[in-house]
Chain A
Amino acid sequence: MLVLETKNLSFSYPDGTLALDDINISIEKGKKIAFVGRNGSGKSTLFLTMNGTYRPKEGNILFHGKPMKYDSKSLREIRKNIGIVFQNSDDQIFAPTIYQDVAFGPTNLGYSKDKVKSIVHKTLEYVGLMDLKDRPPHHLSGGQKKRVAIAGIVAMDPEIIILDEPLANLDPVGADEVMDLLNELNYFGKTIIISTHDVNLAYGWADYVFLMNDHKIISEGTPEAIFTQDDNLKAAYLRRPITLEIYEEIKRRGLVKPDCCPRDIPDLVQSLRTQQLLWVKVSSEVKEGDYVNLGIMYGDYAPISSFAAVNGKVLHLHEDGLAIVVVDMKAYKSGSVGIYDTERYSKENLMDIISRDEIDCIGAMGKMSKILAKRDGIHLDINAGAVDRSILNSLAGQRCLILTNGGMVFHALERIKAYVEKSGIAIPVSVVNPKQKVPETQVSTES
């Protein structure tokens, strides 16, 4: 379903400088969209046009198929549904306390005082800033300010959240927290649009990418399609994402399978090709190109996991029933990933599970879980990118536990299941403290 479209959109500033030149885009509901382009390519102006701040000179904007109108009532409706988080948090957070700033939007929507209060409390809880609600904004760090700015928008419950350079000036952990938050919001059905010039971010995160340069959209498509085309990137004055760069380099050396398009580190690891040739004895009915089962290796012989099923593709049949095979190792038994729902958290329970399941590695996702872990002195091995790291660690035979809550539980489950499906490596994944009556989800696809 299309939520937002622009048709032949052009805009120039009052002094005559052209800022947007014939923009035609359509944005689908519930997607993660990235506008990528170098500084000054028109991203911010496009965003301000999308929420009705700037009125286009030509063309129009369709929200849910209806052209945008510019009377104050329609604008109000548009701005309630399309929230913008500005690049510089200080431009946006103007109230003397965090609470007042987050309450600003809901108050303007005319909600009652009690409703505003409950919304603000819920939102602050959600972004993990409840304990700072009476502080003035200048007491916060950059990452905290950014979360306040996002909370101020989320509190209005918009359909689309637009973020202008959400990770500018954030440290890596702050950036990860913001991205976690955005993923969670997206998982609950919000359409997220960001602008960035960080190709790595756009490539790894987005569902759909628009490349902008010189106030125009120069190409659009899935990240794989966009970022593998060097011409596109050159035209937009951008670089190739680092994962692709690495992939291309090792592909040239013949170390990876061709035609993969790894978007993150687990993908990249998955694309690696084992490069061992072996002489093996095969039975007489085996033909060239067949696969032969070579058994199971473990320990030092199975670097990818604790146990590896070894198959060989026959390249060449020799006399005396010997053949040259290329070894193909697949993790046979990996570690596991458990997901702990912190909504039903108690320290004893968690400690029981950690010792019962012999957990090697604990990670947390979402601000609430991190705060809990810090409060109760639970050492976190993974602080950022919990799902990816847990997959990698469990591939190396570790048992991982991810502390998270709410919708993130299912989000994490699905991400891991998707990996299992794509790679064919069985990673046992389950919610370790399920709700009553919910059976454990056990995913294991045999390769």
Chain B
Amino acid sequence: MAHMLDDYAVMSPLRYKNNWLKVAIVTFGLLVGVSSNSPLVPFLIAICMSFATIYFGKIPVSFYLKILVAPAGFVLVSAVIIAFFFGEGAKLFSFNLFDFTLGVSSAGLNMALLVLARTLGGMSCLFFLSLTTPMIELFSVLKATKLPDSFIEVSMMMYRYIFVFLEVAIAVQYAQSVRLGYKDFKTSFRSMVMLSSNLFIRSWEQGEKIYISMNSRCYDGKLIMLDEKRPLKKPELILTMAYFVLIILVFYFSRGISVF
């Protein structure tokens, strides 16, 4: 089975760092990136976060680029469109298409760059979190946010059984496809319907089985949380602080500066 985001996060060495530190870094990056009106800051954030994910988090570069490609592609396309349709005033360059004049103004270009930078910055922040902090670690963060226990417990069990059912779904789909269940649109549709109804019934049965097995271990409505102590270490703290200071300085000095 192909590795998923969560699998990389489980294996990442950054997993064992303080969860709150990681959450703080990501929140800071998102807020500053969005509030900056110069594309420089979000770009810098994107570079720093990607570097941290790949270098400290030991995520393979090829995998990182692969997951970055899809959203980055969208953003590039929208940036081009923004550049052409936003902004008034003198055009940097223009051309005629039939009877329309299409042109790019400096305001439009700035806007496009800013959108591009903000999206990349935000994405790399979120990738940093999801590639270094597996769900199982996030549950303890959720717990501390005073969400109701039953909510967290249900999400913990959902997390666990997503993988069980994913395996079943892949197996069933394979079994269908070797018997030509996906040969054309109509059969694919029928197969998909059977697959999903099968999964639904299975998850129903699984629920009953889990209930019995949990009862066999004296279930009384309490699950244990993973609350590993992950103390902050000095080097991490210093590095984070340096990063914050750098970003804030760049944020301060790049106010009102536009590229074009």
Question: Within the complex, what minimum Cβ distance (angstroms) separates A97 from chain B?
Answer: 5
User: Given A76-B218, A139-B10, A48–B212 Cβ distance below 8 Å?
Assistant: yes
Pick the contact of A90: B157, B164, B219, B222 (CB < 8 A).
B164
Flag whether B214 is at the interface (Cβ < 8 A).
Answer: yes
Pick the contact of A139: B7, B216, B217 (CB < 8 A).
B7
Question: Is the pair B164, A138 in contact by a Cβ cutoff of 8 Å?
Answer: yes
The A-contacting residues of B in range 126-140, CB under 8 angstroms, are: 134-136, 139
The B-contacting residues of A in range 303-352, CB under 8 angstroms, are: none
Which chain A residues border B139 with CB–CB below 8 Å? 96
Interface residue tally of chain A, by bracket? 35 or more
Question: Within the complex, what minimum Cβ distance (angstroms) separates A114 from chain B?
Answer: 13
Pick the contact of B224: A79, A80, A103, A135 (CB < 8 A).
A103
Look across to chain B and name the residue whose beta carbon is closest to the beta carbon of A110: B220
Which chain A residues border B216 with CB–CB below 8 Å? 51, 53, 79, 83-84
Bound together, the chains give a CA A96 to CA B217 distance in angstroms of 17
Which chain A residues border B214 with CB–CB below 8 Å? 94, 104
Question: Within the complex, what minimum Cβ distance (angstroms) separates B219 from chain A?
Answer: 6
Look across to chain B and name the residue whose beta carbon is closest to the beta carbon of A104: B217
Question: Is the pair B136, A108 in contact by a Cβ cutoff of 8 Å?
Answer: no
Bound together, the chains give a CA A79 to CA B215 distance in angstroms of 8
Flag whether B210 is at the interface (Cβ < 8 A).
Answer: yes
Question: Within the complex, what minimum Cβ distance (angstroms) separates B147 from chain A?
Answer: 16
User: Given A136-B160, A139-B10, A95–B223 Cβ distance below 8 Å?
Assistant: yes
Which chain A residues border B7 with CB–CB below 8 Å? 139
Pick the contact of A136: B163, B210, B217, B218 (CB < 8 A).
B163
Flag whether B94 is at the interface (Cβ < 8 A).
Answer: no
User: Given A86-B213, A136-B10, A95–B160 Cβ distance below 8 Å?
Assistant: yes
B138-163 CB mask vs A (1 if < 8 Å, else 0) is 01000000000000000011011101
B188-220 CB mask vs A (1 if < 8 Å, else 0) is 000000000000000000100110111111111
Which chain B residues border A116 with CB–CB below 8 Å? 224
Bound together, the chains give a CA A153 to CA B209 distance in angstroms of 16
Our count of residue pairs bridging A and B at CB distance below 8 angstroms stands at 94
Which chain A residues border B135 with CB–CB below 8 Å? 96
Which chain A residues border B136 with CB–CB below 8 Å? 96-97, 134, 136
- Interface centre among B160, B163, B219, by most chain A C-beta atoms within 10 angstroms, is B160
Which chain B residues border A88 with CB–CB below 8 Å? 209
Pick the contact of A108: B159, B163, B219, B225 (CB < 8 A).
B219
Which chain B residues border A92 with CB–CB below 8 Å? 210, 213
Which chain A residues border B212 with CB–CB below 8 Å? 48, 53
Pick the contact of A100: B213, B215, B219, B226 (CB < 8 A).
B226
Question: Within the complex, what minimum Cβ distance (angstroms) separates A78 from chain B?
Answer: 10
Which chain B residues border A99 with CB–CB below 8 Å? 226
Which chain A residues border B209 with CB–CB below 8 Å? 86, 88, 91
Bound together, the chains give a CA A94 to CA B223 distance in angstroms of 10
Which chain B residues border A100 with CB–CB below 8 Å? 156, 223-226
Question: Is the pair A152, B217 in contact by a Cβ cutoff of 8 Å?
Answer: yes
- Interface centre among A96, A152, A153, by most chain B C-beta atoms within 10 angstroms, is A96
Look across to chain A and name the residue whose beta carbon is closest to the beta carbon of B156: A96
- Interface centre among A53, A90, A104, by most chain B C-beta atoms within 10 angstroms, is A90
Bound together, the chains give a CA A108 to CA B182 distance in angstroms of 47
Flag whether A383 is at the interface (Cβ < 8 A).
Answer: no
Which chain A residues border B164 with CB–CB below 8 Å? 90, 138
Question: Within the complex, what minimum Cβ distance (angstroms) separates B30 from chain A?
Answer: 26
Question: Is the pair B134, A136 in contact by a Cβ cutoff of 8 Å?
Answer: yes
Flag whether A363 is at the interface (Cβ < 8 A).
Answer: no
Which chain B residues border A153 with CB–CB below 8 Å? 217
Bound together, the chains give a CA A138 to CA B166 distance in angstroms of 11
Bound together, the chains give a CA A376 to CA B7 distance in angstroms of 28
Flag whether A391 is at the interface (Cβ < 8 A).
Answer: no
Question: Within the complex, what minimum Cβ distance (angstroms) separates B257 from chain A?
Answer: 46
B213-247 CB mask vs A (1 if < 8 Å, else 0) is 11111111011111010000000000000000000
Question: Within the complex, what minimum Cβ distance (angstroms) separates A317 from chain B?
Answer: 70
Question: Is the pair B215, A95 in contact by a Cβ cutoff of 8 Å?
Answer: no
Question: Is the pair A94, B161 in contact by a Cβ cutoff of 8 Å?
Answer: yes
Flag whether A107 is at the interface (Cβ < 8 A).
Answer: yes
Which chain B residues border A79 with CB–CB below 8 Å? 215-218
Bound together, the chains give a CA A93 to CA B135 distance in angstroms of 17
A127-152 CB mask vs B (1 if < 8 Å, else 0) is 00000001111110000000000001
Question: Is the pair A80, B218 in contact by a Cβ cutoff of 8 Å?
Answer: yes
Which chain B residues border A37 with CB–CB below 8 Å? none
Bound together, the chains give a CA A91 to CA B228 distance in angstroms of 26
Flag whether A105 is at the interface (Cβ < 8 A).
Answer: yes
Flag whether A277 is at the interface (Cβ < 8 A).
Answer: no
Bound together, the chains give a CA A4 to CA B222 distance in angstroms of 30
Which chain B residues border A136 with CB–CB below 8 Å? 6, 10, 134, 136, 159-160, 163
Which chain A residues border B226 with CB–CB below 8 Å? 96-97, 99-100, 134
Which chain B residues border A109 with CB–CB below 8 Å? 218
Interface residues of chain A, those whose CB is within 8 Å of chain B, are: 48, 51, 53, 76, 79-80, 83-84, 86, 88, 90-97, 99-100, 103-105, 107-109, 116, 134-139, 152-153, 156
List 15 interface pairs A-B (beta carbons < 8 Å), by A numbering: A92-B210, A94-B160, A95-B157, A99-B226, A100-B226, A104-B214, A108-B219, A134-B10, A134-B228, A138-B160, A138-B163, A138-B167, A152-B217, A156-B217, A156-B218
Top-9 shortest CB links A-B? A138-B163, A108-B218, A91-B209, A105-B217, A92-B213, A96-B136, A103-B224, A107-B224, A84-B216
Interface residues of chain B, those whose CB is within 8 Å of chain A, are: 6-7, 10, 134-136, 139, 156-157, 159-161, 163-164, 167, 206, 209-210, 212-220, 222-226, 228
Since A80-B218, A94-B213, A104-B224 are in contact, a sample of 9 more A-B pairs with Cβ atoms closer than 8 Å, ordered by chain A residue number, is A79-B215, A86-B213, A95-B160, A96-B226, A100-B156, A103-B224, A108-B218, A108-B222, A156-B217
